[in-house]
Structure 1
């Protein structure tokens, strides 16, 4: 990979110092980390090689830290790598250590330690040594999926026991290790920047015009920069989340709370205001560093540096001398091989989108769509971005010569989910106007309206959904392209989604006009919805309302239906989370485990292997409005053997099982919190298998 460097005002710190580990040299002081990421798998040479990275944040240093790593059971075969400085200013430095691990026939544990360091927090292992696991060369990865890992403004964090579910993640990891941890967005909540941070005075401005035209100068940028950095350090150093970051390699996409609540989904004229564009740039900087271990842009947007106010020909901003003073930024000329980089910058962030592609072991491909950088109230991603993504998927699947059997697609929000169009209509109707006026003048119904553009606060969340009225054409096109990909390459698509703070499983499938068993149906796609691992769930009535809205929906292709699966057969630990008749939405904190069923896995008892109740099918072949209607209860029943007995009695429910009747299928467990007042984070598992 070719590299270039931006020459800041700290030339001496750009040099590597191999003698930094010699006795007598001052130790490197760690502010945050280590954080481990998975990057990509290399199948091009002899053998298979896993590639990842470890990140630490330190006080500025003239020394170059070094990391040594090797098989955990064989300390004598260790390797070492010097840290690559990604960024340094007078207060901190970011160092990335690149790891390359050869895979063997069996799963392997590797350990790593950074030499000559001293932690400035209590978050570290014995002697600073950590370990992680990689799969065997012919195995697929075991996956942990989470989203919404933080608290909304005003939440009683102590009442919700902080990030307690990470204790259960670590317990499950001990039983059967995870090889990768997928973050579906909102890995951190930065919303406090407007409540107790530098945006508080701006948020308090009552006049909407003054708020829109308020400048985002270099002083405000520096204050926001400090806020975002300190918030990342605080959260990523909080146990038990910090231990998970150091032991399970991460793959992340971002969503609005990684920036600020609702970013991209407010009205266009307000989203284009200087303050939103400014915090878009600052948050992108630390998203690159903390979540992707890659260097940030040289400068970010301010209103008093014209060269930063629009993207240049390379899709980023030009340098602002004030931002580069006493600052070093590593700059490379080649993109990370896992990235799918958009062609044009987003409308409110002066950067190009960065979606992801990588192999999760032998038979699973992964794609994460960056659905925030290009987002507006009417667009989730540009058409040309979808073209780039599907061109990459086609190329990678063909190059794998049939080895890839599953595509896991990560979206920030669910795509198979109950409709709330009626609520959108009410909240955007003229009936709300008098209440909005009373709110503006007298503060009436203050909790209903947001502090940014004065609209109903819930509207930005509804506008985020693929099922929102304005996103439906884009949603339909994405579903059809996925179905075509699945059919052409015999690949099963499984979709991950978060954001909604409850657990569920939606499914797309061929309607009754097609005599197609689900296990052979290219239209069958499960949408595993896991959210939130830390934030509080919605009230019970909201979850119950969604369950009542769980109708059989018909995609306007005339071929595809969708609905949520009834999988919550009992309440977690006997604690009532929703109505007794609500089997499809679970308002309790949760995360998901995904484990491939190998070809040599033993059969499971009859609890999973029963046959479905056959449903009469009309073979007229008609489509559109004239297509035959399926029996209205079909989608609420199991569609294939892997969904039979979905719930607590399913073999996959324990979160570690790799047994099942679908050889090569994926066991999915949604681990649901039982008691939010327990800091141990005990969970109940609900399982199903996605063939």
Structure 2
């Protein structure tokens, strides 16, 4: 990138909602040494700071606030960018996940790769979105470890005792590679268009670090190389997924020190929770003390209206423990054990799963509160239901992926067959996987995104499929 290359951005993030305003951060990525025009709100420039200089770029952030419940706009570099706001009793939200693939993602044909982003951007022009929720795997960083002797064979082989100098070299290598991947994806016109006009809330998942992070053997994740990888992945996520850096987390984050990256925001009649299912994850626990405390606190807090809970890994699903047992007993299939251990339904996470299901039921137990879980990760679309003592239903909506190509239809059928068995892990709360309106199968092997719409106290959801098109609305 030369000094004459264009500046990438703005990329909008929702910092917080308070005092009747949306507090926003706009990320701008410029060639080194190039002056960045100010972001103008009203007649005044927003405060702008330089956050980092990775991969030969200069990354700046402007923070500003606009009305929460009214349309507004901001101005940058000759263009006015309209914002829909979050109207009281109205509004539309988009949910996406899995923006990439494990291998060769940066070499894909850009038009093919970003086809669903283009559709989402066109839909925004017709019916503007208030927010866009990113449910995990915003970037596939699995190949970032390549090209350095300490991490070339990660996670299969690791150096026994790397020196400080070698680890410093690895840190520089990973910092450059993570930045290159984020910047390449974010400069796609289809993504950049909507990112400048719809504030984002992001929750990370394993590929934002590496495939299976937290489900790998402890000898890998707690090794010097593993800890260096996590450190740089977290640094990149703060910068490119939240527009911030260490020690400067927005108010929506529960832990200012960032030991976990769980967050929550609230508007009239709407609360959105993004627990961190990766920072504290181990092979036995999905979250640590801080993450669980955040969810306990949110469960006790009164929040009339709809609570949307992002769970990057689907919370409701078929009895994958049966498939997991089969893989453990079959040597040729044991390489997939980590993939199943990533799931809430894994035998290793049974207690964590029951705990989270109980928390969801407790939120929904109040007469004036409803809860809906949004998930991605599986590269398929589906939905699930859990019965509640009140007679209401906890809905889970799965939309995945926005650019990851769908797995074989045979895999969707396998999961559909498992889902027919049903499950009741929490006494008195039966779980079933249901069909998306207009579909004959429980799992749909097509790229897709989800749209949530609010009209007064009523919410509905629609999936947009690459081939099948729009689903009929599902009342929530």
SS at match of 1:567: coil
Q: How far is 1:94 from its partner?
A: 2.1
Residues 199, 489 of structure 1: CA spacing in aligned structure 2 closer, same or farther, 3 A cutoff?
farther
Shift of the 282–143 alpha-carbon distance from structure 1 to 2, 3 Å rule, reads: same
> How much has 1:160 moved relative to structure 2?
8.4
Match of 2:394 in 1: 525
Q: How far off is 1:536 after superposition?
A: 1.1
- SS of match in other structure, 1:97: strand
Pairing 1:394–2:370 present: no
The 5 A counterparts of 1:488-567 are 488=366, 490-510=368-388, 517=391, 521=392, 524-551=393-420, 553-567=422-436
Q: 2:136 aligns with which of 181, 185, 190?
A: 185
Aligned to 1:486: 364
Which whole-Å deviations, capped at 9, do the CAs of 1:283-316 have from their partners, x for residues lacking one? 11111111111123xxxxxxxxxxxxxxxxxxxx
CA–CA distance in 2 between the matches of 1:49 and 1:384? Answer: 28
TM-score by length of 1: 0.64
Aligned to 1:292: 242
Answering whether residue 461 of structure 2 is matched by residue 672 of structure 1, we say: no
Determine the C-alpha separation between the residues in 1 that align with 2:81 and 2:418.
Answer: 46
1:219-247: CA deviations, max 9, x gaps?
Answer: 12111111111111111101211212111
Larger radius of gyration: 1
2 CA distance for matches of 1:502 and 1:173?
Answer: 23
2-structure distance, mates of 1:111, 1:459 = 48
Separation in structure 2 between the aligned mates of residue 596 and residue 494 of structure 1, nearest angstrom: 13
1:377 to 276, 283, 304: 283
Structure 1: distance between partners of 2:252 and 2:4: 30
**SS at structure 2 position matched to 1:203:** coil
Q: Provide, for residues 185-228 of structure 1, a one-character-per-residue CA deviation record: whole Å limited to 9, x for no partner.
A: 1111111224xx324774348984x5455555111211111111
Q: How does 1:509-658 map to 2 (within 5 A)?
A: 509-510=387-388, 517=391, 521=392, 524-551=393-420, 553-570=422-439, 582-598=440-456
Find the residue that maps to 2:113 and give its secondary structure.
coil
Q: Which residue of 1 aligns with 2:17?
A: 41
Change (3 A) 1:149 1:212: farther
Q: 8 Å contact 1:568–1:584 — kept in the other structure?
A: no
1:336/1:422 CA distance change after superposition, 3 Å: same
Cα distance in 2 for partners of 1:556, 1:230 equals 43
Deviation at 1:132, TM superposition (A): 2.4
Under a length normalisation based on structure 2, what TM-score does the superposition of the two structures give?
0.91
8 Å contact from structure 2 (residues 17, 68) kept in 1: no
Q: 1:408 aligns with which of 308, 321, 325?
A: 308
Q: What secondary structure does 1:222 align onto?
A: helix
Deviation of the 1:101 alpha carbon = 1.0
Structure 2 unmatched ranges of 5 or more: none
| Partner deviation per Cα, 1:39-66 (whole Å, 9 max, x = no partner) | 22223xxxx2221111112234496742
> What is residue 203 of structure 2 aligned with on the other side?
253
**Higher relative contact order (CA closer than 8 Å, sequence separation 6+):** 2
2:320–2:346 contact (8 Å) kept in structure 1? yes
- SS of 2:219's partner is helix
Cα gap change, 1:559 to 1:338, in 2 (>3 Å):
same
User: What SS is found at the alignment partner of 1:422?
Assistant: helix
Residues 173-193 of structure 1 deviation map (CA, whole Å, 9 limit, x = unaligned) = 122110100000111111122
| Structure with greater strand percent | 2
1:59 aligns with 2:31: yes
Aligned to 1:364: 270
Within the candidate set 219, 229, 251, 1:337 is matched to 251
Deviations 1:47-89 (A, max 9, x none): x22211111122344967421134xxxxxxx432131222347
Q: 1:100 to 1:153 in 2, by over 3 A?
A: same
Q: Does 1:111 align with 2:87?
A: no
Give the secondary-structure state (helix, strand or coil) at the position aligned to 2:255: strand
**Cα contact 1:148–1:187 (8 A) shared by 2:** yes
Superposed CA RMSD: 2.7
The count of residues paired between Structure 1 and Structure 2 equals 471
Q: What whole-Å deviation, never above 9, does each CA across 1:586-619 have from its counterpart, x for those lacking one?
A: 0100000001122xxxxxxxxxxxxxxxxxxxxx
Match of 1:325 in 2: none
Partners of 1:100 and 1:546 in 2: how far apart?
Answer: 45
Structure 1 residue runs of 5 or longer lacking an equivalent are: 1-26, 71-77, 115-126, 297-330, 344-350, 398-403, 436-447, 449-454, 571-581, 599-663, 676-682
Distance 1:231 1:493, change over 3 A: same
Match of 1:300 in 2: none
Distance 1:163 1:667 in 2: 26
Contact 1:340 1:389 in 2 (8 A): no
Query: 3-state SS of the aligned residue for 1:172?
Result: helix
* 1:533–1:590 Cα contact (<8 Å) kept: yes
Question: Are residues 205 and 563 of structure 1, via their aligned partners in 2, closer, same or farther at CA, if it must alter by over 3 Å?
Answer: closer
Seen in structure 2, the aligned counterparts of structure 1 residues 87 and 408 have a Cα distance that, compared at 3 Å, is: same
